[in-house]
Amino acid sequence: MFWTPLRLAKSSVTKKAKQSDEPATTTLDLIKAGQEIKVVKIVAGQSATRQLAQLGIRTGTTLRVRRSAPMGGPVLVDSGGTMVAIGRGMARKVCVQTLA
């Protein structure tokens, strides 16, 4: 999609992640429902990172995006049998790679 690189350029956080990882890296809020992804990096604060990790969302884990709500709503991911709703702002801090 043509607007995706634009979006990445705007956010300094994702830009940094982009430099250090493969070019296919994007953020969780941009993933479509049904897609399987691998978490590459989480750039949230200490407490949020811990909260995500406790729910099984940490660097290296594989997740499936179940839903991505419209109008700036949250992303619903399947994490090892638990569903977790992640607010859009938080999802923007989770860098991921899509898996086939």
Partner 1 sequence: MKIALVGQPNCGKSTIFNAVAGYRAATGNFPGTTVRLAWSTIRLDGLVAELVDVPGIYSLTSTNPAESAAKKFLLKENVSLIINVLDASLLSRSLELTLELRELGIPMVVCLNMIDEADRRGIKVSSRELSALLGLPVVETIGYRGVGVRDLFRQGRQQADQPPRPAEFIRWHRDVDSSLEQVQSVIESSSSQLRLPSRFLAIKLLENDDDISVEAGQLATAAARRLRAEIETMRGRPAESVIMSERHDCAMRLFERSATVTRPKSDPRAALDSLLTHPLWGYVVLAIVLVGFFWVVFGIGSFLENAISGKLDLLTASLLAQVPTGGIGHSLIAALMDGVQGGAGIVLPYLVPFLFGLAFLEDVGYLPRVAYLMDGLLHRVGLHGTSMLPIILGYGCSVPACMATRILPSKRDRFLASVLATLVPCSARSTVIFALVAFYLGPMWALGIFCFNALVVIFSGWLLARVWPEISAGMILEVPRYQWPSFSALAGKVWMRLREFVVLSWPLLIAGSLVLGLGSYWHFDHYANVALSPLTMVLGLPVVLGTTLVFGVLRKELALIMLTQALGTTSVTTMLSSTQIIVFTIFITFYIPCLATLVALVKEIGRKMTALAAVYTFVIATLMGVAARLILPLIVGR
Site of interaction with partner 1 (CB under 8 A):
46-56, 58, 66-67, 69-74, 76, 80-90
Rounded Cα gap, residues 42 and 25, in angstroms: 12
- Is 5 or 83 the residue whose CB approaches partner 1 more closely? 83
Collect all residues with Cβ–Cβ distance below 8 Å to 67 and sequence separation of at least 6: 33, 75, 76
- Is 5 or 45 the residue whose CB approaches partner 1 more closely? 45
- Is 5 or 82 the residue whose CB approaches partner 1 more closely? 82
Rounded Cα gap, residues 100 and 98, in angstroms: 7
Q: Contact at 8 Å (CB) between 38 and 31?
A: no
CB of 42 to partner 1, least distance (A): 10
CB of 61 to partner 1, least distance (A): 10
Collect all residues with Cβ–Cβ distance below 8 Å to 34 and sequence separation of at least 6: 64, 65, 66
- Is 5 or 57 the residue whose CB approaches partner 1 more closely? 57
